[in-house]
Amino acid sequence: MKIAIIGNGISGITAARWIRKLSDHEIIVISGESDYFYSRTALMYIYMGHMGLKETQPYEKGFWKKNRIGLKRAWVKDVDFKNKKLHLIPAAKLTDHDFLPAELPYDKLIIATGSDSNKFGWPGQDLEGVRGLYSLQDLQYMDNYSKDLNRAVIVGGGLIGIEMAEMFHSRNIPVTFLVREKSYWSNVLPDEESAMINRCIKNNHIDLRLGTELKEIVDNGSGKAVAVITNKGEKIDCGFVGLTAGVHPNIGFLKESDLETGRGIKVNEFLETNIPDVYAIGDCAEQQHPKTGRRGVEAIWYTGRMMGETVAYNICGKKVEYNPGIWFNSAKFFDIEYQVYGNVPAKIPEYMTSIYWEHPDGDKSIRINFDNRNNSILGFNLMGIRYRHEVCEKWLKEKTDMETVLKDLGQANFDPEFYDQYEKHLLAAYNKIAGKNIQLKKRRGLSQVIAFLKR
């Protein structure tokens, strides 16, 4: 059986690796972006000079031949689902006169085409010097425009936007950051954490404009961006505009096909589409019936990896439902690390109580949410402090009592041994609210933590 995989990101490559572990099927991965799989989350570190492209590639070049995973550098023009064929465009640029599309037959197809940057019809959004940040091509474009750049304007207050701000800042390029909300990422972060990141951005000398939207990108008369105009009528001169107002599933080439799509490619719990022998995974897939508390489309690294493994089992005859488990995510805001486990909404509902502690320096915090109806733990939000994923997940899965968690909170802390520990401050905040005198247990060693997880 011949299995074709469109996309060589974390989803597509995880699927290829697991199919190989489970079978001897022929596998071919098609991507026009790059020859080899690389860590997309490391794009910023390539720009900043911390890593080269080779260091972002987890596997040596010989890995693919050794594991009999074929790689084809091409773009998929369209899919003939009826006859099970892909029509390909070579990744190298050819003139219309030279181009003849190649055909690639398949028996089963996995679509793992990821995301693309959002555009919302802004005048000038297709000018030179305007780009999002998702692919290697985007990174190269950004790098090309960075030489002698007078200023960059970044539009959109998400994770990619703050990454781009840090990238330009690392080369001493002035940055103006337009965020339409009244506070950074306030649709995701609770007020206190959002305010902390506002301060962090400003402390790094980024010109943060809250409550400000892009109205127009100004053309210099030759098709190149030279300024933006905001919804407040202000003109900001710049040589590059970063469009980072979110992403959407990269499925434009499939919209006119018989494949059922909404925001993404609609899939069932086995990651099957409405067309037999066709599956979709990763950022481009949309769950028709997502698990409680989860979204239909989740453009997250770990969910893409989990989908890749799940689809491999299903293709190889071992029926497995996709289950993303407990929600978690992590990121970095300049020097502040961020982790979230479980349910930590931006606005706390009535049934939920949130215990929050923030360091006097304003760059570290711990938040724990629990259900005030039964005292069961619901979520953890951490800024500048690291907790063990496995420990938090165990507590959340078992719906552990909040006070039990607080007593043993030290074992979750993943910071090095001689770092300051702050769990006692959070416990004091809880005791003050609850009128109790709960004491923190002594922090456990690694062997004790492992024993705890095996219980």
DSSP string, 103-141: EEE-SEEEE---EEE-----TTTTSBTEE-SSSHHHHHH
Residue 47 corresponds to which tokens in the numbers above?
Answer: 């720009």
Element (H, E) at 310: helix 301-315
> What number of residues does the chain have?
455
**Torsional sign, CA 265, 270, 275, 278:** positive
Q: Can you tell me the mean pLDDT for 355-370?
A: 96
State pLDDT tens for residues 213-244.
999 999 999 999 999 999 999 999 999 999 99
Instruction: Report the pLDDT value the prediction gives residue 98, as an integer from 0 to 100.
Output: 47
Output the pLDDT for position 440: 81
What pairing do the DSSP bridges indicate for beta strands 377-383 and 365-371? antiparallel
Per the model's pLDDT, the better-predicted residue between 169 and 455 turns out to be: 169
Full-model pTM: 0.92
pLDDT tens-digit series, residues 185-212: 999 999 999 999 999 999 999 999 999 9
* % of the chain at pLDDT higher than 70: 94
In this predicted model, what pLDDT tens digit does every residue of 376-414 receive, in sequence order?
999 999 999 999 999 999 999 999 999 999 999 988 988
> Which of 72, 70, 40 is CA-nearest to residue 53?
40
CA dist., res. 278 & res. 272, Å (int): 6
Q: DSSP characters for 16-39? A: HHHHHHH---EEEEEESS-SS---
Q: At CA 263, angle to CA 257 and CA 269, rounded to 5?
A: 85
Output the six-digit token pair for 400: 């552990």
Angle at 384 between CA 378 and CA 389, to 5 degrees: 45
pLDDT of residue 344: 97
Identify the DSSP state of 411: G
Res 97: pLDDT = 45
What are the beta bridge partners of residue 70? 28
Separation CA 247–CA 254 (nearest Å):
17
C-alpha dihedral over 42, 381, 363, 355, to 10 degrees? Answer: 180
Q: Could you tell me if residue 317 is left (phi over 0), alpha (psi between -120 and 50 degrees) or otherwise beta?
A: left
In three-state secondary structure terms, 447 is helix
Structure tokens at 401: 């009592």
pLDDT class of 418 with cuts at 50, 70, 90: low
The whole-chain average pLDDT of the chain stands at 93
**What is the pLDDT at residue 91?**
82
Structural domain boundaries in the chain = 2-116+248-315, 130-245, 328-454
**Range 130-245 classified under CATH 2.40.50.140:** no
The 10 Å Cβ neighbour count of residue 7 is 27
pLDDT tens digits, residue range 72-103? 999 999 999 999 999 999 886 554 444 556 89
2-116+248-315 and 328-454, same CATH topology: no
Place of tokens 């084809």: 72
What single-letter amino acid sits at 283? D
| pLDDT tens digits for range 159-188 | 999 999 999 999 999 999 999 999 999 999
Per residue in 288-303, pLDDT tens? 999 988 999 999 999 9
CATH classification of 2-116+248-315, choosing from 3.40.640.10, 3.40.50.10090, 3.30.420.10, 3.50.50.60?
Answer: 3.50.50.60
CA distance 408 to 444: 9
Q: Is the pLDDT of residue 1 over 90?
A: yes
Whole-angstrom distance, CA of residue 132 vs CA of residue 398: 41
Tell me the per-residue pLDDT of 307-338, one tens digit each, with 9 for 90 and over.
Answer: 999 999 999 999 999 999 999 999 999 999 99
Nearest-angstrom CA–CA distance, 176 and 197: 15
Helix axes 159-170, 136-146, angle to 10 degrees: 40
Residue 356's φ and ψ, nearest 5 degrees, are: -130, 135
> Right CATH number for 328-454 from 3.40.50.300, 3.30.390.30, 2.60.40.1180, 3.30.160.340?
3.30.390.30
Read off the pLDDT band of 447 (50, 70, 90): low
Q: Which pLDDT value is given to residue 233?
A: 96
